[in-house]
Amino acid sequence: MVSSGKSAWIIPHAVLLLGLGLVLVLFPVYVAFVASSLPLQDILDAPMTLVPGPDLLANYRDALALGTAGTNGQRRGDDAEQPRHGARHRHR
């Protein structure tokens, strides 16, 4: 049975608004999950991919083992790059 009253549009619109709200809340969570599975250089490249990467377990292992030590976004070792032209730097 199809109703043709004014209240017939409320339920479909409520479902659509609820779905939109879920997308707006869950999309940033998904992006954070994808970023946690990528190497640092892939995260810094624009635009970042929305496909999970191969480093999920290694990144989680390092996060649990090292904590926040060495998470300033700079590379360690011989492969460190010079800052890009126009990049902002803090001077202490």
Annotate 16-28 with DSSP letters as a single string.
HHHHHHHHHHHHH
* pTM: predicted TM-score of the whole model, two decimal places: 0.59
- The torsion defined by the Cα of 57, 83, 47 and 65, in degrees rounded to 10, comes to 10
pLDDT of residue 88: 56
Name the region of 86 (left: φ>0; alpha: ψ -120 to 50; beta: rest).
left
Question: What pLDDT shows up at residue 38?
Answer: 93
Query: Does an H or E element contain 64, and which?
Result: helix 56-66
Residue 78: the pLDDT is 47
In whole angstroms, give the CA distance from residue 88 to residue 74: 14
At residue 9, the pLDDT reads 85
* Residue ranges in the chain modelled with pLDDT below 70: 1-5, 69-92
pLDDT of the residue at 57: 92
- Residue 43: φ, ψ to 5°: -70, -40
Tokens of 90: 């803090």
Q: In 3-state terms, what secondary structure has residue 43?
A: helix
